[in-house]
């Protein structure tokens, strides 16, 4: 195994813009649309038994789903399910054929014999057709690529992100969890990877049927299958960790996954044992990354023989605890998944020492959020797949840890996990557990940082007068942010003079606040927040404080993606701003620079060769965002 030193840990994966954070552009590509309404389901689905044949030459699937359910309260007369684009040819249960209607995504099954409270029933649905996906260059749904067919469980361009409905009939919302069995039939040269543990393979007539079982419940958006001529590499430290890669990627996979065992150790040390009673794996796919339970889909271009993509690798691993095992009860609380997984990147950096943790938190998480221009609340966010859900979410956990202390913070996370594992959680649940661990009210913190707008900007002043053998230091604090409410926070200051220094804490709960501190030496310097505990503009250099437009910005969008010859770049909220665009290749070399006048969106790529690139946009007000894109014609799956 390769062990990186702290200095190398945060070397940029894309060295041009200069931060590991730019890797996030590969996993957070576009914002989600406004969420549509979701009604409660009278059914509690317990298990999905899926038998699916993949027919890549026709780009079709044919399946039967045996769905075991019970009542969530009251007698069930109809079973509501979601199924997109696939055609239903029959529905039945133990009483015989059942009537159904299928309009749009809504599949309604009428039961001949109603299901009473406490009773279980299995309803089977036969279906087939060409499965839906979000379209060229997008993310969610079922995909056919040369030599690989696979399901991506989240639609980042879709009003309802859950994409289970593209592969099987289900109640497709994160609030409904079930166990799964898979029997997936493919050509006998192809291997299938699915959630859970392998349960054998049967060969007949040039076909192979691969069986997988997941005995612990998960949400439907995490269910996935991938079929290709994979090579199964087994981790040399933990035999239950697997890497399913294309045959021509074996050498690069050994390099890119060299630190996975150490990552698993780091996360288990903080969050407890790996919670799934089966394998953990990375599966190479043309799109990624995506944290399907026990099988992370990892973008093929990130398997390069190096460990510079470790932040993405550990981010997806972190979801096995946060998002997959403890799942947000509704998408509006997505920070409980993505903010936690982003924080896992910093937990991995801490493997190299406290300074590496702080460096990563500041440079790769807190500063990129401040530079993004986003100011909307994290609870019920305007955009799900945003710097707010990811980087601000991780920053909130960092600040909470600084306020509570390590023992109370990780104790609170431990009890939160224990009470909600294989189930659902809300921000209110997290707050309750953290308050119990802290021994006091944290409502002020959650109100500001989860449900409030923006972040603080501090105007700090100080003066000192001698009083006998001591010096009295008066520190004044004003909050001058133009967006958002007042932020009550404990603030730390280092008072230094000569060879002496003293750390003091300032509880800032009113505007125009001042406090006096006595020290036994003549002060020469007062440093604000030397430990970088607060998400504020003080983390940026002089003159670099962000100045978002009124209402803030959204996540930058690049399309079409993949593209040929030209690319459109849209940055919501920055339409009236000049913009400087730089394109970097994966070695970090700047290959294209362009200046956009207000209203311009078209970027001429000229003769840019096929491949994966990173676009960095800088706008007025010291704002910066990044996005990944592909020029068509690049490397496909072997």
CATH number at residue 520: 2.60.40
At 411-425, the pLDDT tens digits run 999 999 999 999 999
pLDDT tier at 404, thresholds 50, 70, 90: very high
**CATH code at 165?**
2.60.40.1730
Average pLDDT, the chain: 91
Q: Is residue 173 located within the same domain as residue 259? A: yes
Q: Is residue 310 located within the same domain as residue 391? A: no
pLDDT of residue 612: 82
Please name the residues in contact with 232: beta carbons below 8 A apart, sequence gap of 6 or more. 191, 242, 243, 244
Say whether pLDDT at 296 is over 60: yes
pLDDT of residue 638: 39
pLDDT of residue 562: 81
Residue 180 CB burial class (10 angstroms; 0-12, 13-18, ≥19):
buried
pLDDT of residue 484: 74
15 three-state secondary structure? coil
pLDDT tier at 23, thresholds 50, 70, 90: low
Look at residue 486 and tell me if it is in a domain. Answer: yes
The predicted model gives 127-148 an average pLDDT of 94
pLDDT of residue 588: 82
pLDDT of residue 635: 44
Look at residue 548 and tell me if it is in a domain. Answer: no
Q: Is residue 167 located within the same domain as residue 243? A: yes
Say whether pLDDT at 544 is over 90: no
Look at residue 167 and tell me if it is in a domain. Answer: yes
What domain range includes position 228? 43-67+129-316
Domain end call among 480, 509, 534: 534
Q: Is residue 357 located within the same domain as residue 241? A: no
Cα angle vertex 552, ends 547, 553, to 5°?
Answer: 105
**CATH code at 401?**
1.10.390.10
Say whether pLDDT at 313 is over 90: yes
pLDDT of residue 603: 94
Domain end call among 476, 502, 534: 534
Say whether pLDDT at 400 is over 50: yes
Say whether pLDDT at 214 is over 60: yes
The predicted model gives 216-239 an average pLDDT of 98
Please give, one letter per residue, the 3-state secondary structure of 212-253: EEEEEEEEHHHCCEEEECCEEEECCCCCCEEEEECHHHHHHH
Look at residue 107 and tell me if it is in a domain. Answer: no
Q: Is residue 465 located within the same domain as residue 445? A: no
| CA atoms within a 13 Å half-sphere pointing along the CA-CB vector of 110 | 4
Say whether pLDDT at 187 is over 80: yes
Q: Is residue 140 located within the same domain as residue 262? A: yes
Number of domains making up the chain: 3
pLDDT of residue 39: 64
pLDDT tier at 560, thresholds 50, 70, 90: confident
Say whether pLDDT at 277 is over 60: yes
pLDDT tier at 321, thresholds 50, 70, 90: very high
Say whether pLDDT at 4 is over 70: no
Following DSSP, what letter does each residue of 153-211 receive, concatenated?
Answer: -B-TTSSS-B-GGGTS-B--STT-EEEEEEEEEEETT-EEEESSEEEEEEEETTEEEEE
Ranges 36-45, 310-319, 392-401: which has the least confidence: 36-45
Q: Please tell me which residue, 77 or 137, carries the higher pLDDT value.
A: 77
DSSP H or E run through 46: strand 43-55
pLDDT of residue 541: 79
Look at residue 253 and tell me if it is in a domain. Answer: yes
DSSP H or E run through 47: strand 43-55
Domain end call among 281, 316, 351: 316
Q: Is residue 214 located within the same domain as residue 239? A: yes
Look at residue 599 and tell me if it is in a domain. Answer: no
Say whether pLDDT at 16 is over 90: no
pLDDT of residue 380: 86
Look at residue 430 and tell me if it is in a domain. Answer: yes
Ranges 5-9, 340-344, 488-492, 591-595: which has the least confidence: 5-9
Q: Is residue 135 located within the same domain as residue 193? A: yes
The predicted model gives 135-152 an average pLDDT of 94
In the 8-state DSSP scheme, what is residue 152?
Answer: E
pLDDT of residue 441: 97
Q: Is residue 209 located within the same domain as residue 275? A: yes
Look at residue 57 and tell me if it is in a domain. Answer: yes
Q: Is the peptide bond before 485 cis (omega within 30 degrees of 0)?
A: no
Q: Is residue 476 located within the same domain as residue 529? A: yes
DSSP H or E run through 511: none
Ranges 47-51, 408-412, 511-515, 585-589: which has the least confidence: 585-589
Q: Is residue 214 located within the same domain as residue 306? A: yes
pLDDT tier at 482, thresholds 50, 70, 90: confident
pLDDT of residue 585: 87
Say whether pLDDT at 38 is over 90: no
Say whether pLDDT at 477 is over 90: yes
Question: What's the rounded Cα separation, in Å, for the pair 339 and 332?
Answer: 13
pLDDT of residue 21: 45
pTM: 0.91
Q: Is residue 412 located within the same domain as residue 464? A: no
């Amino acid at each position: 195994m390769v062990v990186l030193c702290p200095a190398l840990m945060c070397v940029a994966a894309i060295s041009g813009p200069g931060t590991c954070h730019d890797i996030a552009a590969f996993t957070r590509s576009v914002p989600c649309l406004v969420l549509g309404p979701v009604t409660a389901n009278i059914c509690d689905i317990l298990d999905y038994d899926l038998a699916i044949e993949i027919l890549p030459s026709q780009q079709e699937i044919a399946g039967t789903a045996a769905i075991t359910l019970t009542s969530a309260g009251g007698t069930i007369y109809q079973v509501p399910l979601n199924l997109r684009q696939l055609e239903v040819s029959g529905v039945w249960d133990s009483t015989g054929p059942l009537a159904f209607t299928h309009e749009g995504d809504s599949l309604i099954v009428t039961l001949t014999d109603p299901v009473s409270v406490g009773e279980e029933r299995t309803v089977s649905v036969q279906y087939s057709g060409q499965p839906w996906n979000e379209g060229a260059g997008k993310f969610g749904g079922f995909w056919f690529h040369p030599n690989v067919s696979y399901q991506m469980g989240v639609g980042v361009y879709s009003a309802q992100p859950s994409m289970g409905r593209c592969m099987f009939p289900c109640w497709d919302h994160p609030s409904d969890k079930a166990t799964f069995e898979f029997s997936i039939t493919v050509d006998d040269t192809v291997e299938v990877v699915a959630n859970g543990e392998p349960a054998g393979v049967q060969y007949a007539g040039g076909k192979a049927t691969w069986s997988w079982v997941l005995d612990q419940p998960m949400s439907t958006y995490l269910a996935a299958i991938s079929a290709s001529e994979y090579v199964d590499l087994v981790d040399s430290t933990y035999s239950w960790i697997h890497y399913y890669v294309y045959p021509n990627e074996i050498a690069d996979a050994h390099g890119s996954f060299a630190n996975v065992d150490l990552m698993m150790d780091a996360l288990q040390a903080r969050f407890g044992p790996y919670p799934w009673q089966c394998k953990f794996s990375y599966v190479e796919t043309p799109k990624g990354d995506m944290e399907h339970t026990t099988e992370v889909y990892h973008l093929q271009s990130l398997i390069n023989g190096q460990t510079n993509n470790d932040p993405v690798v550990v981010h997806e691993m972190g979801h096995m605890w946060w998002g997959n095992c403890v799942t947000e009860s509704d998408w509006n609380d997505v920070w409980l998944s993505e903010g936690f997984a982003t924080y896992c990147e910093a937990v991995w950096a801490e493997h190299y020492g406290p300074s590496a943790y702080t460096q990563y938190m500041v440079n790769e998480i807190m500063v990129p959020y401040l530079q993004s221009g986003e100011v909307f609340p994290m609870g019920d966010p305007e955009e799900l797949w945003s710097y707010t859900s990811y980087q601000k979410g991780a920053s909130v956990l960092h600040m909470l840890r600084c306020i509570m202390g390590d023992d109370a913070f990780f104790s609170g996370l431990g009890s939160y996990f224990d009470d909600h594992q294989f189930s659902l959680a809300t921000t209110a649940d997290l707050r309750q557990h953290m308050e119990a661990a802290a021994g006091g009210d944290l409502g002020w913190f959650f109100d500001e940082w989860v449900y409030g707008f923006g972040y603080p900007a501090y105007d700090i002043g100080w003066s000192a007068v001698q009083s006998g053998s001591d010096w009295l230091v008066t520190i004044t604090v004003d909050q001058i942010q133009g967006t958002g409410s007042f932020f009550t926070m404990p603030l730390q200051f280092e008072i230094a003079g000569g060879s002496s220094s003293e750390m003091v804490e300032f509880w800032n709960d009113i505007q125009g606040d001042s406090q006096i501190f006595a020290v036994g030496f003549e002060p020469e310097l007062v440093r604000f927040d030397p430990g970088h505990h607060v998400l504020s503009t003080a983390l940026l250099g002089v003159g670099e404080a962000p100045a978002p437009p009124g209402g803030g910005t959204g996540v930058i969008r690049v399309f079409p993606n993949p593209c040929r010859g030209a690319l459109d770049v849209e940055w919501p909220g920055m339409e009236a701003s000049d913009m400087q665009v730089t394109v970097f290749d994966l070695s970090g070399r700047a290959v294209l620079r362009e200046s956009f006048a207000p209203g311009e969106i078209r970027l001429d790529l000229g003769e840019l060769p096929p491949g994966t690139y990173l676009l960095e946009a800088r706008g007025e007000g010291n704002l910066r965002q990044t996005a990944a894109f592909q020029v068509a014609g690049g490397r496909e799956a072997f």
